[in-house]
Structure 1
């Protein structure tokens, strides 16, 4: 569910606390006595018309643990824009915002006379990225590549007790402090991928502070499914639609099922397919590779899998796997429970959940795929950590907030089935699904249909 991946240039598009362990975690110093304020305003290097400042926030919004974080913020100069602030939220979790300000400014240019574009490096990202060298090397920018148990445990140990302060709820509290620091009554939020989940959680927590919501490549407010069952079931549909578009002569869904059954490589295949949507939403080379493998020649498929793994390499500053694990483990619901569940019994609970799955649940894949994905295994090995409260999964977004739900029908990172799950909980939502597009429609789609829908929605009276 990352906004984008590092492969072949696929990226889209915290503060020093009081202990040495917190320093090692990669936090950025925040000036004393300035929690909730912006400081250090200066022109953003290489970004004309933007001012960069530091938003100073408490490490612990509950006030029980000392420490502050300094979050970098980039703000366009038109502070008096008639429609106010447009806060654009990137994804991951683990991706910074400020490095993508120029790209988003270009993509959103038709609305930026009316809106003031603001972007933020959320806690644990960018210069304040949570650093986990081994986990970073093993997973790169992927959600699905399985990490080793040792890499996960090293990451949790490196971040220590502060890992409890990197949930989406903590980021939502940071965004409310940002709104106050900007001096605006309401903000318009545009989120992509995990950014949609953050934006929705902000709207649930502060409904009277949201003017509009754009949710692009939707992660529903009910949360990320660590088994990724919607994507597993969607893969045959996506491949058949792509096959029709390129007029291929094979049945990629049948080939996919045979490959997984023959080689037992479901995790590798869904990981590679998810990445490939960023490279080519027609999946042409993948369709060919699946057919060859189904016919007994897996060489090309193995090469593409290896290539996507290599191409997914990313630094923590580009997408922090330490933050990714911290947030997903705190936010998630797993077969063993929440992040505070004891280690004993977790593996047994996961195996039991896998045994209860049926082919209807995972489509052409298998139970081993559903229970062996990277985000699931990261949290399986994540040490018990106090679980933050979550909003009710059935709570509706307020009808007073206009919402645009945007997706691509070829997306396997955040399949459109998730978009329709969110629609059930969003009374005023408009839906735009762009044919032939994959993840991050505003940034990456070849068609302008999605972007034009966003412009129309944002400029509407």
Structure 2
């Protein structure tokens, strides 16, 4: 059990930025303030007040509640933060925090340097498991030098959890989706998006407006103070890179070391509608990478000797589960969600290929185990989706007319059909969002003071956070920002055990503050080896990966 938790922590250290009529009623309460408004100034002042109070009170760590599933030596605490920083004496939220204390080392590099806070992304992912990576060899020296700090951001897990629909409805199976949607299907999805937005308003009420990146950044500022740290040491993956970049922009004097792994493009004009559009070509490339790999291992899987033949095998499975859901629970929706993982993590390729091969041989069991719904995780998945939606919808303006969405995604789908429409329909509630004013994205890089050295890490073929975003983030962070690129690879989340070259650069930076150059390139990590077609191959990795939200 302990080994499974540790591996889950390692995987969760790099979560992804995508989940798999009349206007809705508006939520009551204040709008999300513009960063330049008087209310935003009040929120900034409220954050400073909350940080001072947190520094005085500190955090009181003790045994973790059984609900966290962590066990010793991880300790847990609760951090109180304002729901609305413009009203710091108003309602409070309790955020869960986890810690494994630094072990110390025999040389100055591994002597304790403070706390290292991690955000795994989403938004909607919990970092509570992060301290468990202290048990992994590739984290040993970092764990000697730093207290490893995980936390569940506002709305996530037990941190005042946000919900937009009944988890049983969220996990309903089988789901049948259309890769090339008909006009009737599009109308159904528009109605579903409107209903989902209304559900968020109904369940969260006025609180819904306060799930934003700006408030996540303020919470991080308060957490830093509560840990007793004058400056923040931080690693963020995927959405966590955007969170860290906004923190660095608003609080440059409180930055010590920051690692940005699999960087979101922080250009305000791309937050978030254009960023999501730009994922489609990236996912298409990664889906092609999987098919090319499976074709190279045709002798093992029998899916076809060319990428086109592998695609035809996938389509045969898709047609079959559209007609008769596998095991009564895996329709085209579950199938697509499971195989979207192949665009994120190449370590799942053997299991995905084996499940397709087994199904085509007449054995649906591996596919059912791989893609079937898990009732035990339904509440967690619904919660993650709710937070993802709320933060992205609140953070920026989105097109409010379906015609724009339909035009842009129809054009994209001509060359990138794999994920275009699924991503569009996931984010479509933002067109009908019941918060009557959106946040204006922060101009990352406009900080009033120079930053210390920071480190961006990226895979060249990452689909969820395409590589140009890493270049843009490096540019905006200034001359002290270095970039380590994993060439020719596309797994989302690079640091922490996949690539020795990348790990050496990140470890050196965290331990010494030094970087090896402005831009450094590492060879790709090895592709996964094919496995036999027994049932275990289809599900062996499933327990090791975080949910794709």
Q: Where on the TM-score scale, by shorter chain, does this alignment land: which range?
A: 0.7 to 0.9
- Separation (CA, whole Å) in 2 of partners of 1:188 and 1:304: 41
- Separation (CA, whole Å) in 1 of partners of 2:446 and 2:414: 27
- Separation (CA, whole Å) in 2 of partners of 1:281 and 1:50: 28
Partner residue, 1:339: none
Q: Which blocks of at least 5 consecutive residues in structure 1 are unaligned?
A: 1-7, 14-20, 23-31, 292-296, 337-348
Structure whose CA Rg is larger = 2
Contact persistence 1:187–1:212 (CA under 8 A): yes
Are positions 1:432 and 2:503 aligned together? Answer: no
SS in 2 for 1:74: strand
1:440-459 superposed matches below 5 A: 440-443=493-496, 446-459=498-511
- Separation (CA, whole Å) in 2 of partners of 1:35 and 1:268: 46
Where is the helix percentage greater, Structure 1 or Structure 2? 2
1:178 positional shift: 1.7
Q: Which blocks of at least 5 consecutive residues in structure 2 are unaligned?
A: 1-7, 14-27, 30-49, 65-69, 105-110, 172-176, 178-188, 298-304, 323-330, 514-549
Q: Which moved more, 1:107-116 or 1:158-167?
A: 107-116
Q: TM-score, normalised by structure 1?
A: 0.73
Partner residue, 1:251: 307
- Separation (CA, whole Å) in 1 of partners of 2:451 and 2:123: 28
Are positions 1:36 and 2:54 aligned together? Answer: yes
Are positions 1:310 and 2:373 aligned together? Answer: yes
Contact persistence 1:266–1:365 (CA under 8 A): no
Distance 1:35 1:400, change over 3 A: closer
Contact persistence 1:354–1:371 (CA under 8 A): no
Are positions 1:186 and 2:205 aligned together? Answer: no
- Separation (CA, whole Å) in 2 of partners of 1:10 and 1:49: 17
Are positions 1:276 and 2:342 aligned together? Answer: yes
Q: TM-score, normalised by structure 2?
A: 0.62
1:401-416 superposed matches below 5 A: 401-416=452-467
1:68 positional shift: 0.9
Are positions 1:119 and 2:146 aligned together? Answer: no
- Separation (CA, whole Å) in 1 of partners of 2:448 and 2:373: 40
1:391 counterpart (442, 446, 455): 442
Distance 1:119 1:204, change over 3 A: same
1:306 positional shift: 10
SS in 2 for 1:235: helix
1:280 positional shift: 3.8
Partner residue, 2:122: 92
Are positions 1:231 and 2:261 aligned together? Answer: no
1:269 positional shift: 8.1
1:390 positional shift: 2.6
State the superposition RMSD in angstroms: 4.6
- Separation (CA, whole Å) in 2 of partners of 1:157 and 1:306: 35
Distance 1:396 1:230, change over 3 A: farther
Distance 1:69 1:35, change over 3 A: farther
Distance 1:424 1:266, change over 3 A: farther
1:53 positional shift: 2.1
